[in-house]
């Protein structure tokens, strides 16, 4: 039962891998063989990752939540849909399809992989599992947001975008950096006390990513080689409206969760303060016997003259 999610992910990846072999023949590129070999290598990497994750999950046992295993499996399937399905072949000739592909990687696969913690689970397979917390360090949402923003804008600038389509290896590097920085961003914003600042940095990400999409959608001329203006405007709308709206919604959800947790903590602190006040009052009442006079204040002659002067 513990290997079910990994088996489902592996079967889905194998099914996805069967489709691009036909789709690659219709791309019309001389590098179709290189593209196919890259897809095969990615599929093998995903399958190996699924096996290692399953073994790590088995070693961790019931300590590892099932929802994280399911998230990792769904994240791997999302990567397969984006990079191994016919969507990848279509994205080579259609800018809008390319933006859909990037949206799947950044807003679907990345948060699921961040929730699934694949590195932590696969490290459990090693004889001496390293403590990834020390390796990765504490969450840095600001640095993660900046790094992801640089990668997002860099690979969507006209010279680099056209170059990635001409060079399959560079295209793979672009997808790896987009996915890797997005996973780092989602991991950083979902860790403990970093949630409030993480929500704010997600708003920043939604702003600059939506701004890039708006520039593409409102442009009066095509940015990219062999791209039509209508195709580019549709691609910009994909980045601007659905992607920006989803980022904003997730940021609002994180912020609302932090506010609810803060309200619960404030209520608990108020209850504790009220109880401590009651205990202190009871202790004071018990310490004062009935008929006990309050101690007189020691008023010096100087204080008396000051009080008389005020009167």
292 versus 42: which is more confidently predicted?
A: 42
Please identify which residue in the block is written with the tokens 């590195």: 119
- Domain range for residue 256? 140-286
111 versus 8: which is more confidently predicted?
A: 111
Report phi then psi at 138, rounded to 5: -80, 155
Confidence (pLDDT) at 73: 93
Q: Judge whether residue 154 has pLDDT over 80.
A: yes
| pTM exceeds 0.85 | no
Mean pLDDT of 246-255: 85
Please tell me the distance from the alpha carbon of residue 237 to that of residue 103, in angstroms, as a whole number: 12
Q: Looking at the structure, do residues 82 and 164 belong to the same domain, yes or no?
A: no
Report phi then psi at 27, rounded to 5: -75, -30
Q: Looking at the structure, do residues 13 and 63 belong to the same domain, yes or no?
A: yes
> For residue range 29-73, what is the model confidence (pLDDT) as tens digits?
445 555 667 788 889 999 999 999 999 888 888 888 899 999 999
Q: Looking at the structure, do residues 123 and 198 belong to the same domain, yes or no?
A: no
Please tell me the distance from the alpha carbon of residue 107 to that of residue 14, in angstroms, as a whole number: 23
Q: Looking at the structure, do residues 161 and 59 belong to the same domain, yes or no?
A: no
In a domain, 200, yes or no: yes
E strands, 68-139, are none
Report phi then psi at 208, rounded to 5: -75, -35
Nearest to 208 by CA among 247, 176, 255: 247
Q: Looking at the structure, do residues 280 and 184 belong to the same domain, yes or no?
A: yes
Q: Looking at the structure, do residues 193 and 109 belong to the same domain, yes or no?
A: no
């Amino acid at each position: 039962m513990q290997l079910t999610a990994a088996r489902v992910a592996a079967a889905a990846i194998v099914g996805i891998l069967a489709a691009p072999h036909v789709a690659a023949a219709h791309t019309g590129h001389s590098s179709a063989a290189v593209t196919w070999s890259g897809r095969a290598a990615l599929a093998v990497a995903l399958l190996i990752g699924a096996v290692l994750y399953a073994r790590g999950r088995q070693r961790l046992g019931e300590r590892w939540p099932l929802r994280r295993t399911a998230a990792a499996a769904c994240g791997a399937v999302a990567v397969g849909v984006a990079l191994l399905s016919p969507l990848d072949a279509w994205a080579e000739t259609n800018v809008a399809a390319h933006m859909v592909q990037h949206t799947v990687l950044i807003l679907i696969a990345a948060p699921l992989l961040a929730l699934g913690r694949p590195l932590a689970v696969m490290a459990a397979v090693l004889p001496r599992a390293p403590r990834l917390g020390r390796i990765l360090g504490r969450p840095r949402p600001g640095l993660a947001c900046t790094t992801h923003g640089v990668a997002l804008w860099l690979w969507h600038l006209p010279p680099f975008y056209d170059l990635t389509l001409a060079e399959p290896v560079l295209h793979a590097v672009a997808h790896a950096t987009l996915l890797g920085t997005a996973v780092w961003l989602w991991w950083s914003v979902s860790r403990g006390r970093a949630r409030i600042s993480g929500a704010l940095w997600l708003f920043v990400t939604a702003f600059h990513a939506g701004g890039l999409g708006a520039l593409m959608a409102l442009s009066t001329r095509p940015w990219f080689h062999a791209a039509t203006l209508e195709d580019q405007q549709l691609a910009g709308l994909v980045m601007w409206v659905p992607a920006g709206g989803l980022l904003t919604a997730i940021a609002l959800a994180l912020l609302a969760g932090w506010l609810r947790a803060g309200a619960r903590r404030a209520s608990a602190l108020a209850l504790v303060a009220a109880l401590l006040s009651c205990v202190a009052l009871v202790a004071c009442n018990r310490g004062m016997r009935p008929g006990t006079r309050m101690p007189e204040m020691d008023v010096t002659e100087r204080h008396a003259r000051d009080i008389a002067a005020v009167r």
